[in-house]
């Protein structure tokens, strides 16, 4: 799965930028509040507007304080997947259940420096694990390869039936890094500049997908 990130899109032309990524599996929307991360992007009103102009399932990544209070509204608005950070959630198990009850998938994200092991039981409540392969806050950063150890840990638990979730990765994903992420066991790849920096975003999506599928088959 390829999920282009509109953080790298032209914010003055968001409807057109969504139309340009036909063939994408999800559209990744980074919500930042300038508190949990040192950047401010967009919020619920813009997400609600975007939902009206695309049929691509929306993957909302909430890099915000107090997601227990704010996340449910994104599910109620119609987001397909709503991801919160384990570092910010006060009651992640209740939050996952509330997100599902409000109509979305529940995603849990983890920063590069946060260990995964303390949260393996929590992940039983979630549909998606989003492993950050850059520090959250800004696009265009370099890929942090050591986070793939977390991917491998969770991939093994999924493959052996101990967890049932989709493994997503976000940060620095491009033609140079997607194969190693696929080899580690990633299911869904968030790509910003690798898609929106291309002359033909739809073709870039398919090229990335081809690389990921090839790497997955090669190392399966």
The catalytic site residues sit at 30, 170
SS3 label, residue 106 = strand
Instruction: With beta carbons less than 8 A apart as the criterion, state whether 67 and 44 touch.
Output: no
Q: Within the chain, how many helices (H) and strands (E) appear?
A: 8, 8
**Which one, of 61, 41, 63, 54, lies nearest residue 104 by Cα?**
61
How many of the other CB atoms lie within 10 Å of CB of 219? Answer: 12
Tokens encoding 148 = 């793939």
């Amino acid at each position: 799965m390829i999920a282009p990130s509109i953080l790298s899109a032209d914010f003055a032309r968001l409807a057109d930028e969504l139309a340009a990524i036909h063939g994408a599996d999800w559209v990744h929307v980074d919500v930042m509040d300038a508190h949990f991360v040192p950047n401010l992007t967009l919020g619920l009103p813009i997400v609600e507007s975007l939902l009206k102009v695309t049929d691509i399932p929306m993957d909302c990544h909430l890099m915000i304080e107090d997601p227990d209070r704010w996340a449910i509204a994104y599910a109620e608005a119609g987001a397909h997947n709503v991801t919160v950070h384990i570092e910010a959630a006060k009651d992640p198990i209740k939050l996952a259940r509330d997100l599902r009850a409000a109509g979305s998938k529940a995603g849990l994200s983890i920063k590069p420096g946060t260990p995964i092991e303390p949260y393996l039981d929590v992940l039983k409540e979630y549909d998606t694990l989003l492993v950050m392969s850059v520090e959250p806050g800004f696009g265009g950063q370099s890929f942090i390869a050591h986070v793939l150890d977390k991917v491998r840990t969770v991939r093994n638990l999924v493959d052996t039936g101990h967890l049932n979730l989709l493994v997503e990765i976000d940060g620095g994903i491009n033609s140079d890094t997607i194969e190693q992420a696929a080899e580690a066991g990633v299911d869904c790849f968030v790509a910003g500049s690798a898609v929106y920096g291309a002359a033909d975003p739809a073709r870039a999506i398919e090229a990335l997908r081809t690389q990921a599928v090839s790497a997955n088959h090669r190392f399966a």
